[in-house]
Chains A and B, each alone.
Chain A
């Protein structure tokens, strides 16, 4: 049974700092891995999708990597801004065609001005 864990649970950094969020999963036979952002009381906004054949994806100041063999993914945020403050969730796609997502508990990021 796939389990996804995110460390740390919370992170507070000063504006401008580069940071890394970690995600680990127990079953390396994942199909894809997706990172989301969730603002308080809001829905999930997709940030990046890494397909199983890929090792990383980049979008603006965000870079996500995937290492299936070690069961890890990281989300790198460059030059953090107060507007980046949110909860970041990673989710592993199951290997079946249904594509259900198994979520981690999230990392709540606070970027201080």
Chain B
């Protein structure tokens, strides 16, 4: 089945540690995105990538980093510089950036202790 996978579903880390969240898609989509969601809030865009080896900052990129070395993969690293990293992280993809529907993964709930 085609889709987006994120792993793990739940992740716990100690404060001060960097952590990398996985996002893989087999939809052959060019564009991929990372969002953050806090309880009772909407989604906020962290980073997006329109094509391999290219990515752009979203609204809340500080304290995060990404890479796009392969079309299928868009990992997100939450660094120790992120002041409040505990949140629900969602990865999405679309055929191309722009007026195309986005397909979302199941999300990773990160808790920093």
Does A associate with B in a complex? no
